[in-house]
Amino acid sequence: MNRFTIIFVLACFVVAATAVIAQQIGGDDALGTRSYDDYERPITCRQCHVDIYEQWTQSMMSQAYVHHWDEIEYFELAIPHAEIDEKVADVRAGCNGCHAPVSFLAGDVPPPRPEEGSRANEAVSCDFCHTVIARTGDPSFNYNYVSSPGRVKYGNREGVESPHHETKYLEFMRTAQFCGTCHNEKSPYDIWVKSTQLEWAEGPYAEEQVPCQVCHMPRAPGKNANIAEKPHSDIAQHLFHGAHDPGKVRGSIEMRMHPNDREAEPGMQIVITAQLFNGKCGHKVPSGSSEERQLWLHLVAVDADGREYHLPVDQKGFEGEEHTITSNELAYQDMGPMMGDAGFAGLPRDALPEGDRIFCLPYFDPQGRRTIAQWNTASQGVDYRIGPRETKIETYTWTVPDEVAIGIVTVRAELYYRRLVKSVADFLKVPEDETEIIVVNDAVTWFEVFD
């Protein structure tokens, strides 16, 4: 070999090595490394994958860019904030890493508004997910997936054939780590502001090898393409149902309740105990966007004359507990400067009756005030959400009032869920459906009042 051949061989080596490394780009480094033309449109996949396509269009992942509340938060809060605060400047692009991944990879940030009908509207699309091949680090978070678009679509079966594309089995697609690339998020202040996959990893379902797909992409017999030769017994349904599916939320926490005594007199103390069991979720409840989700327990005693008494929860005395009991003190002041109103006084924190237990993880801005801007989160309070297979016990000590009617007192408990704090939704003009109240569960018990 002469010198030139050696140099040529070395040069080829360097080019090949760079190409391999280039394929392994993820997270912020991947911004602008692809073009829209590298990815096929979901409508193309529909030709043969009709059922899967129709399922996906009903899921939030197909709407992650066009959904009204996402649009409002991104364009009215995050982008203006990125312009005035250097610390959060990267969210201008970064929100899209999860909500409009192809736009992020194409460097089209901010993408055009949803009404302009651009390809950003495809959101988390078929071809995006089916050409992810790996992640760039451990744990999964902040869009650290590796995207490798092309003719090969990665899936969960060996040896299936399609006239439109090649297919390849990929173990990674079947793991929770795949979902975690977007379902775990760290703020610019290095705080975990979304940790669904991390919560799962610490819980019983990881140990039992029950990944996200088992509950959010359940299996059923059928064909996965209308031109497929053979049916399969276990087609992955693309439901991705979660907080926006009341049927998924209802019953996700089970509840029972009892009094410490079945007989009471006016002036006596009765203690009601409620048990709340998370038997159905692979992660905490609420999970994901915990900065804005609300899960609260409301107890009412009704006497024999139908008079109602709201029972506030007993305090347990742990640090930071005030954030786990509903309150309407002013919060969310950080939205003011983002919207050009430096003197903004804030909004009622929970916009709910006070004194109820609220299962939450409070997010604080750099000034220590509650925030719904997860990217502006510099610290968090006590985590009082309900973990997978965890049971929380709440007690209600009630001094039976003198004017109570003699006879049976019925105590009703209702566990409610709301996706977005109502005061925030009204202030930002988020359409009503986002603040729909879902009854997760209820329970009833009784005791009798004698003279």
Question: From the CB of 186, what's the least distance to ligand HEC, in Å?
Answer: 8
Among 103, 121, 195, 196, binds ligand HEC (CB under 6 A): 196
Among 27, 101, 114, 387, binds ligand HEC (CB under 6 A): 101
Question: Distance of alpha carbon 168 from its chain centroid, rounded?
Answer: 29
Cβ-based nearer residue to ligand HEC, 223 or 258: 223
Among 121, 178, 257, 352, binds ligand HEC (CB under 6 A): 178
Q: DSSP E strands: which ranges in 314-390?
A: 330-331, 347-348, 357-358, 363-364, 379-380
Cβ-based nearer residue to ligand HEC, 172 or 446: 172
Subset of residues 392 to 411 that bind ligand HEC, contact rule: CB under 6 A: none
Q: DSSP E strands: which ranges in 260-405?
A: 263-264, 269-278, 294-302, 308-311, 330-331, 347-348, 357-358, 363-364, 379-380, 391-399
CA 140 – CA 177 distance, rounded (Å): 6
98: nearest Cα among 176, 26, 201: 26
Region of residue 369 (left: phi > 0; alpha: psi -120 to 50; beta: else): beta
Q: Is 97 in the site for ligand HEC (CB under 6 A)?
A: yes
Q: Is 280 in the site for ligand HEC (CB under 6 A)?
A: yes
3-state SS class at 258: strand
Spell out the residues 6+ positions from residue 435 whose beta carbon is closer than 8 angstroms to its own. Answer: 418, 419, 420, 421, 422, 425
3-state SS class at 136: coil
Q: Is 282 in the site for ligand HEC (CB under 6 A)?
A: yes
**Binding region for ligand HEC (CB under 6 A) out of 231-239, 321-329, 333-341, 391-399:** 231-239
Q: Which residues of 279-313 are buried (b: 16+ CB within 10 A; e: fewer)?
A: eebbbbbbbbbbbbbbbbbbbebbbeeeeeeebbb
Give me the residue label for tokens 């719904």: 372
Q: Is 179 in the site for ligand HEC (CB under 6 A)?
A: yes
3-state SS class at 278: strand
Q: Is 415 in the site for ligand HEC (CB under 6 A)?
A: no
User: What distances in angstroms separate CA 395 from CA 255, 256, 283, one per listed residue?
Assistant: 13, 12, 24
CA dihedral of 400, 405, 406, 408, whole degrees rounded to 10: -80
- Other CB atoms closer than 10 Å to residue 433's CB: what's the count? 12
Question: From the CB of 377, what's the least distance to ligand HEC, in Å?
Answer: 11
Q: Is 421 in the site for ligand HEC (CB under 6 A)?
A: no
Q: Is 134 in the site for ligand HEC (CB under 6 A)?
A: no
Subset of residues 208 to 227 that bind ligand HEC, contact rule: CB under 6 A: 210, 212-217, 224-225, 227
Question: From the CB of 320, what's the least distance to ligand HEC, in Å?
Answer: 21
Q: Is 255 in the site for ligand HEC (CB under 6 A)?
A: no
Cβ-based nearer residue to ligand HEC, 155 or 346: 155
Question: From the CB of 181, what's the least distance to ligand HEC, in Å?
Answer: 5
Binding-site size for ligand HEC (CB under 6 A) equals 96
Cβ-based nearer residue to ligand HEC, 126 or 335: 126
CA 140 – CA 147 distance, rounded (Å): 14
Cβ-based nearer residue to ligand HEC, 67 or 392: 67
Cβ-based nearer residue to ligand HEC, 107 or 312: 107
**Binding region for ligand HEC (CB under 6 A) out of 182-190, 305-313, 325-333, 391-399:** 182-190
Burial of 317 (0-12, 13-18, 19+ CB in 10 A): exposed
Six token digits for residue 96: 């899209």
Q: Is 129 in the site for ligand HEC (CB under 6 A)?
A: yes
Cβ-based nearer residue to ligand HEC, 28 or 314: 28
CA 175 – CA 224 distance, rounded (Å): 20
Subset of residues 333 to 372 that bind ligand HEC, contact rule: CB under 6 A: none
Among 103, 121, 147, 197, binds ligand HEC (CB under 6 A): 197
Q: Is 416 in the site for ligand HEC (CB under 6 A)?
A: no
Q: Is 377 in the site for ligand HEC (CB under 6 A)?
A: no
Question: From the CB of 449, what's the least distance to ligand HEC, in Å?
Answer: 37
Give me the residue label for tokens 């302009």: 116
CB of 185 closer than 8 Å to CB of 291: no
Question: From the CB of 108, what's the least distance to ligand HEC, in Å?
Answer: 15
**Binding region for ligand HEC (CB under 6 A) out of 4-12, 53-61, 309-317, 394-402:** 53-61
Question: From the CB of 190, what's the least distance to ligand HEC, in Å?
Answer: 14
Q: Is 300 in the site for ligand HEC (CB under 6 A)?
A: no
Cβ-based nearer residue to ligand HEC, 218 or 267: 218
